[in-house]
Structure 1
Amino acid sequence: MKIAIWIRELMSGSQFHMAVALVCATAGLSASALAVPAEAGVVPAVRGMSTPGVGEAPEGFGTGMLLWGPPGSRQPLPMLDLHVEIDITGLMVHGTVSQAFKNPTLETIEAVYVFPLPEKAAVHHMEIRIGERRIVSVIKEKEAARQTYQTARREGRKAALLEQERPNLFTIAVAGVNPGEEVHVRLEYVEELTYASGTFELVFPLTYSSRYGPSPSPGSDADHRSGQTILPAVAAPPRATLTVRLQAGLPLAEVTSKSHDIESRWDNEVLVIEAESGAPFAADRDFHLRFTPQVGHEPEAVLLVEDRDATRYALLMVFPPSHAPEMTGLATETLFVVDVSGSMSGPSMRQARAALAAAVKRLHPDDAFNILAFNDGVRVFADDYVAASEVEREQAYSWIQGLTAGGGTRIDLALEAALELVELHETWRVERIVFMTDGAVSTEDAVLERIRSRLGKARLHTLGIGAAPNRYLMRKMAEAGKGLCDFISRVDQAGNQIDLFLSRLSRPVMTDIELTWEGDVPPDTYPQRLPDLHAGEPLILSARFAPGAGQGRVVLSGRLAGGPIRRVLDLGGSPGHATGIATRWARHKAGDLMDSLHQGADPDLVRRDVIEVSRRFGIVTRYTSLVAVEEFPTADGVNLQIRVASAVPGRGQLPLGGTHEPLMRLVMMLCAIAAGVTGLVGHALRRGRPGRGT
């Protein structure tokens, strides 16, 4: 009783509030003064924190950040291990990425994991495993998928949503992760290997390069979307394992990696390759794998087949000779068409002049060439094609340096003049047109139709110039002209890009390529018009047969420098066990449907057809997303957002800051003391208060 009276006297009036405030202030001061980088373990989540939502990635951090904290001072938490398994069949890649993360906070959270994938990857499967539960994704229209995810999130159910942020960046948002709970996310994707100069290359990004920039003011839109400046790395990067199973379809001459030590072994006809001998390694740099198939002195053809839902899909690959002598290339007759309109002013014009000069320099003495410059009119270097002698090339260099930009863009006039020159000129050489422009034209359909109907045996290649060329038109012009397409966007990269482009189309190894489908109805193929086969550049075709078809033979024919060539491939004898073949066809089908929008197709019909392809083949498109939701609510409480951390390239993880567990115990103890004092005082006051009726 005496203690209660003493406390009541001590805490009377404002002294009571001061005492409570003093204890809480002491706790806050201790937290501020003793703050050190957090260690692994349980850390407090911050209620009401503002983080990017689903579909937004902070550009100031590396990909895969598990962030917590208030705007302007968010810090990443460490990511758990990463496991990658890659199956390669021919040039098709089927990858499986498995990631695990744990809710290290004391709250129920929403984890937003932003991660990189190869640029041309198409994700087609995702699943979540939480304990013994397994939640598998389904394809839905993008808005419907978001609504399904948000509904599950509000109801406290486990859910995940995968969306394509950029061509090589996807996000997974997983809602309803309880304190201390581990969530394992597994996704599968397909892509194609790159092939250049006789060598395949696989690149798997184990971390995504950060976008550096000044820290915006807290609470601003820039702060919400862009993130902050990266601090020095202090924590160890996450650990990863990576295994590749390779079935190239051709004998292998060499398998190497410039990024990691690799160990390989044969398992029947499959070469199993493990990074760092299969042991976990630091995921602080991308994985690179290169392999070179053995190719003879003539083109090699490989046919791979996949049977899916009673339908046969095929992938035909034709490889040029790996070390073809220069004389085997066919002599060329090239018309260079360059855009000198006003839209090409400045850097674009400098790029165009550099490209032209480099192209002329690469010609051989038995080649012939001419140059046509256009804006709202046309002018030519010579009245007819001229031999690529040293004298003619020197004169061409001077003519090129005199080109300046100005006037309108009449691609139709330039194309008409170029086609007339090709039609009126008889030659034994391979005819080709190299078009250099930014494609600033509104008559796309007319241009493409003119190429298809009048180009004849000539080939048309396109080189997009400038920061924002009409990529659709450039690509479609090249497809219609059975040619190649490339782009130059920066002046400082013009030289290397031009050299690579010109080396690709320098001299065709095989022309007039045709396919005959014996014993079958011709399948639906992409591309529909076959380009020439160039040195270091394979020809790749995807086909889908009618149900029950695809059991006959494929006859490949064409023309080499030494005469005609013919190859026969048996579809009926090919086992349909390859993977990724059907998905590749579906991706090209969806792309062809999207391209039809440029040709006036009904947007609603295109959307419907793309969604149908997406659902049937399980690919994420512009209109669809993968969403996975469990059936019954198990999450406890509201969701906060955090992001899973990944390593910055070539460095450790980003810094881990915040209050660590021992300090939090101290803070919680001080707050408990404050609460105890408050309760004790309140109890004393109530007991000492006169009762009613006394």
Structure 2
Amino acid sequence: MVIRCGLVTVNKEPVPLKGIEVEVEVKDHVATVVSTLHYENKEDKAIEAIFVFPLPADAAVCHFSAKIGQTEIVADVKEKQEAREEYDDAVSSGQQAFLLEESEQSPDIFSLSVGSLPPGESASIRLEYVTELAVEADDGLRFCLPVVLNPRYQPQGSEGRGIQVTSVPASLVPYSLSFSARVSSPRQVSKVDSKCSLEPLQYLNKEQTQALIKLAAGHKFDRDVELLIYYKDAHQPTAVVEAGKPSAKPGTLMGDAVVMLSLYPEFPQAVMSSLATSGEFVFLLDRSGSMQGARISSARDTLLLLLKSLPVGCYFNIYSFGSSFEHIFPNSMEYSEKTMEQALKKVKEMQANLGGTEILHPLQHIYSQPCIPSQPRQLFVFTDGEVGNTKEVTSLVKKNSSSHRCFSFGIGQGASTALINGLAKEGRGHAQFITGADRMQPKVMQSLQFALQPAVEDISVTWDLPKGVSVTPLSPPFTNIFQGQRSLIYAQLTGQSSEETDDCVTVKYSLAGHLFQSKLGFTLQPTEDTGLTVHRLGARTLIRDLETKETEKDGEVKKKVVDVSIQSGVSSSFTAFIAINKGSRKAIQGPLLHRRIPVARICSTSQRPSSGICSTSQRPSSATFCALGAPAKVKKGRRDLFMMKSPFCPLKSVADPIFCGGVPCNSAESSNEKPRDPLLQLVSLQKASGCWELNPALAAVLHKTNKQVEQTKPAKVNGNVWATVLALVWLHGLKSDAQVEWKLLARKAVSWLVAQNAPCMTECVIAGNTLLGCSVEKDVLGL
């Protein structure tokens, strides 16, 4: 009998992964991440350890190596099938081998196989990647180290194999994590926020342009490690020119210089003040089991805000989905008081009770509906992003990108960055992530403002370079630009010039019938001390663009992806990293023991039913299982990542429970019903036209009696005018910190007031200030 010692899983199997060390170097808006994974085999037989884990979808994995004792083996990038065969051959012959590969279904999931680790042997795996930092609504730069990987739901009939994940509740992850980040920028680092516990921020110089961040001890794996980094004057255009690799051939991607340009186009205020008053707004809400609790409650509140903020004269509809999908109206309806109230009644009844995460079918139905003339379609997708057919979904959005813009929202820990970012990128929209205690409403309302901005058209990029230097774009053509949002351009610069000139790139675009341009000057002199970071990010950008064009019949595109991947040393869906310790050949006594390394999921241990019976009568249509139990048998040769089957609960996925033992599986994020936010109470009383009615409900929200409100009304003023002025004064005077949430509906209220041509507006504002104890100027209200 094997004595089980060391770290063990919930299935009492030893875990060879002892700890993970992560060091991050953030330079301006680019992060280099180095993860070191420490393995030790404490069993009496050789093992193969398989670890399926998340990475950011846009990361460029550029280094993979293993250290056994004093021997270091650096991996090579090879075509995926070739790498798999080499790995299997090495393991079968007793050699230590290491294989790192990207999932074919989703670029944010990787599999690391550590093969033929002898008894008592230790190994350290070093993984390095570079990634851009996304710009948040408040100008913070978001860095996220994913540590939570919820099992991905694989819809029935979808293409490809399922993504199989071994997961345990966050409290049972049996290895440690240490994390530190060093931040440097030409601009001052003003602050760093995080949902995780951090040690106090350490500035490393008096200018405060360099800082050190450390994760406090005892991280529990109950959330991703997320940092929000704020620089002073963050919206400054930048240009970085990086010299090519000396040993690479000139004229190749790695042999030439590569430039990275960061642009922040600013639209004229006159154009921005005229938001669209038309459009077809389609909201698609995830109601799968994993949305239970706080997630679905926040989504309902967000839909309330969205419906109240829509412009009069637009069209709208609301879809929701799980294993099946529903819609409030058969087709999009004109926005009116009647249709808004019908929709709100349905929204109040929405629960996370539709089972799985079949997002493809509702999208197909939406795209099958004819577009409404002169009403540009804007699609808003809300999901926790735990699906296995990511590429199939994003390909569908890309196919229909000419007919709409897509704004996506990833809800909760473990949301797939590949799905959320992919929906927005292919749909010419914008992506947002809502994690921890984040309020969904501010981020969603910012995206609604983007959707109401006039669409940018006829985008072109023009390069002004000296004679003898040519440019090859690595980034796909721009399809969208939003006010204040960063646009990145990567390009390969071939050739040299003896002239010292001011080089520049100009982005031209048409907006609301007018032609505008943004120009950025730069020098061809390479920036110092950048390594090959820019080259790798440029290669990653080119690879991702090519992968979206690849089809089964297009072997040339696949070949180019493989060539770029091998040349740059950056991973792709068609390649893998392979490292073999050729000096470790040793006959294996009996079959290798397979050990799956568990990752964290948001689910507490109390959710495992002791009876072995699931308490729900609803059964999913797709046979994917909770990732808790023993692995299915693995065939010889490079195998599919196997599915972990649970003896407890035949649900489709831990990520999408309906109930497991009577307890919602994401109860860590659930909460009891809280008293309703006064802001949302006020918003719920607004009419579709933009006005409020004078009634006891409004008085209650304002914390006044109906008599007080009636008696202070100026004599010549209509009741609804008075109520609307009071609501605006209350918003500006007492809820100014949440202005991003109510800005659009307040604008609609002001438009309604102006249309009434009501007398005594100054008197109304003064009376409203007196009643509510505020001091809001009439001009501030926009009257």
Q: Which range, TM-score by smaller chain? A: 0.5 to 0.7
1-side partners of 2:181 and 2:377: how far apart? 41
Does residue 257 of the first structure (1) align with residue 203 of the second (2)? no
In the other structure, the counterpart of 2:112 is 172
Contact 1:312 1:548 in 2 (8 A): no
Counterpart amino acid of residue 569 in structure 2: G
Q: Which amino acid aligns with 1:518?
A: D
Alignment pair present for 1:538 and 2:486: yes
Equivalent of 1:570 in 522, 526, 529 = 522
Equivalent residue runs for 1:565-604 within 5 Å: 566-573=518-525, 575=527, 577-578=529-530, 579-597=532-550, 602-604=553-555
Quick one: structure 1 residues 624 and 346, their matched pair in 2 at CA, closer, same or farther if it must change by over 3 Å?
A: closer
1:613–1:262 distance in 2 versus 1, CA, 3 Å? farther
Contact 2:182–2:212 (CA under 8 A) maintained in structure 1: yes
Q: Residue 210 of structure 2: which of 271, 274, 291 is its match?
A: 271
**Whole-Å Cα distance in 2 between the matches of residues 434 and 184 of structure 1?**
48
Change (3 A) 1:571 1:378: farther
For residue 625 of structure 1, report the CA deviation from its aligned partner.
Answer: 1.1
Q: What amino acid sits opposite 2:308 in the alignment?
A: K
Partner deviation per Cα, 1:285-307 (whole Å, 9 max, x = no partner): 543322112238xx531222333
- Cα pair 2:429 2:480 within 8 Å, conserved: yes
1:244 Cα offset (Å): 1.7
- Structure 2 counterpart of 1:244, which letter? A
- Residues 325-404 of structure 1 aligned to structure 2 (within 5 Å): 329-337=272-280, 358-359=305-306, 361-362=308-309, 369-371=313-315, 394=337, 397=340
User: What code does the residue aligned with 1:570 have?
Assistant: F
In 1, Cα distance between the equivalents of 2:605 and 2:288? 42
> 2:132 is matched with which residue?
192
Corresponding letter in the other structure for 1:306:
E
Taking the aligned partners of 1:555 and 1:151, their CA distance within structure 2 comes to: 53
Q: 1:85 to 1:129 in 2, by over 3 A?
A: same
Output one character per residue of 1:461-493: Cα deviation in whole Å (capped at 9) or x when no partner: 2357999xxx999999976885447899xxxx9
**Structure 1 position 138, deviation (Å):** 0.9
Residue 644 of structure 1 deviates from its aligned partner by: 7.4
Question: What corresponds to 2:293 in structure 1?
Answer: none
Cα gap change, 1:652/1:232 in structure 2, threshold over 3 Å: closer, same or farther?
same
| Aligned 1:600-619 pairs, distance under 5 A | 602-619=553-570
> Cα deviation per residue 1:403-443 (whole Å; 9 max; x = unaligned)?
9999x96958834x53xx38xxxxxxxxx642579999999
Secondary structure, counterpart of 1:170 in structure 2: strand
* 3-state SS in 1 of match to 2:279: strand
Q: Which residue of 1 aligns with 2:575?
A: 624
C-alpha distance in structure 2 between counterparts of 1:447 and 1:77, whole Å: 45
In the TM superposition, what is the alpha-carbon distance from 1:283 to its structure 2 partner? Answer: 6.2
Question: Contact 1:330/1:507 (CA < 8 Å) preserved in 2?
Answer: no
Q: CA deviation digits over 1:261-297, x for unaligned, max 9?
A: 24423369962414158xx75564543322112238x
Q: Secondary structure of the equivalent of 1:310?
A: coil
CA–CA separation in structure 2 for the residues paired with 1:78 and 1:115 = 15
AA of the residue aligned to 2:406: T
1:531 offset after TM fit, Å?
A: 2.0
Tell me by how many angstroms 1:126 deviates: 0.8
Name the larger-Rg structure: 1
Q: Match of 2:242, as an amino acid?
A: E
State percent identity of aligned pairs: 19
Retained in 2: the 8 A contact 1:122–1:190? Answer: yes
Given the superposition, is the C-alpha separation of residues 305 and 132 from structure 1 closer, same or farther in structure 2, using an over 3 Å criterion?
Answer: same
Q: Distance in 2 between matches of 1:357 and 1:210?
A: 29
Q: CA deviation at 1:564?
A: 6.1
Distance 2:563 2:58 in 1: 21
State the SS of the aligned residue for 2:120.
coil
Q: How many Å apart are 1:95 and its aligned residue?
A: 0.9
* Residue matched to 1:203: 144
User: Aligned partners of 2:17, 2:124: CA distance in 1, in Å?
Assistant: 12
For residues 340 and 628 of structure 1, the distance between their equivalents in structure 2, rounded to whole angstroms, comes to 47
Q: 1:149: how far off?
A: 0.6
Once the two structures are TM-superposed, the CA of residue 356 in structure 1 deviates from its matched residue by: 8.4
Q: How does 1:401-550 map to 2 (within 5 A)?
A: 414-415=370-371, 418=373, 421=374, 433-435=377-379, 460-463=404-407, 483-484=429-430, 498-499=444-445, 501-507=447-453, 515-519=461-465, 521-535=470-484, 537-548=485-496
Q: How many Å separate the matches in 2 of 1:230 and 1:339?
A: 35
Q: Does 1:182 align with 2:122?
A: yes
Instruction: Confirm or deny: 8 A CA contact 2:50 2:113 kept in the other structure.
Output: yes
Contact 1:87 1:244 in 2 (8 A): yes
CA distance in structure 2 between the partners assigned to 1:647 and 1:379 by the alignment: 42
Shift of 1:196: 0.9
Of stretches 88-97 and 250-259 in structure 1, the one that deviates more from structure 2 is 250-259
User: How far apart are residue 602 of structure 1 and its match?
Assistant: 3.4
The alignment's TM-score, normalised by the length of structure 2, stands at: 0.54
Q: Tell me the equivalent position of 2:611.
A: none
> What amino acid sits opposite 2:125 in the alignment?
V
Amino acid at match of 1:516: T
SS at match of 1:80: strand
Q: Which amino acid aligns with 1:203?
A: C
Alpha carbons 2:397, 2:427 under 8 Å: kept = no
- Compute the displacement of 1:160 (Å): 0.7
Q: Give the whole-Å Cα distance in 2 for the aligned partners of 1:603 and 1:627.
A: 26
From 291, 312, 328, the equivalent of 2:229 is: 291
Task: Supply the distance in 1 between the matched residues of 2:168 and 2:426 (Cα, whole angstroms).
Answer: 47
CA distance in 2, matches of 1:232, 1:380: 45
State the 1:193 CA deviation. Answer: 1.9
Partner of 1:147: 85
CA shift for structure 1 position 180: 1.6
Structure 2 counterparts to residues 12-411 of structure 1, below 5 A: 40=6, 73-77=11-15, 79-165=17-103, 167-197=107-137, 198-205=139-146, 207-208=147-148, 238-259=175-196, 260-266=198-204, 271-276=210-215, 284=221, 286-295=224-233, 300-308=236-244, 309-319=254-264, 329-337=272-280, 358-359=305-306, 361-362=308-309, 369-371=313-315, 394=337, 397=340
1:73 deviates by 4.6
| Residues 1:500 and 1:253: Cα distance change in structure 2 (over 3 Å) | same
- In the aligned structure 2, how far is the partner of 1:482 from the partner of 1:125? 32
**Would you say the 8 A contact 2:148–2:602 is kept in 1?**
no
> Structure 1 pair 272/486, CA: closer, same or farther in 2 (3 Å)?
closer
Sort the Cα spacing of 1:577 and 1:317 in 2 relative to 1 into closer, same or farther, 3 A: same
Q: Distance in 2 between matches of 1:202 and 1:473?
A: 17
Partner of 2:752: none
Contact 1:103/1:178, CA 8 A, preserved across alignment: yes
Change (3 A) 1:581 1:508: farther
Q: Per-residue displacement from partner, 1:114-142 (whole Å, max 9, x unpaired)? A: 44433443322211111221111111222
Residue 525 of structure 1, CA deviation? 4.5
Instruction: Indicate conservation of the 8 Å contact 1:162/1:170, yes or no.
Output: yes
Deviation per residue, 1:376-412 (Å, 9 max, x gap) = x998867xxxxxxxxx854663687899999x96958
Q: Which has the higher strand share?
A: 1
What SS does structure 2 have at the residue aligned with 1:414?
Answer: coil
Distance 1:232 1:403 in 2: 37
Change (3 A) 1:437 1:228: closer
Separation in structure 2 between the aligned mates of residue 650 and residue 440 of structure 1, nearest angstrom? 24
CA contact (8 A) 2:102 2:111 kept: yes
Equivalent residues of 1:95, 1:189 under 8 A apart: yes
* TM-score under structure 1 length normalisation: 0.60
Question: Equivalent residue of 1:582, what SS?
Answer: helix
Secondary structure of 1:300's counterpart equals coil
Q: Secondary structure at the match of 1:529?
A: coil
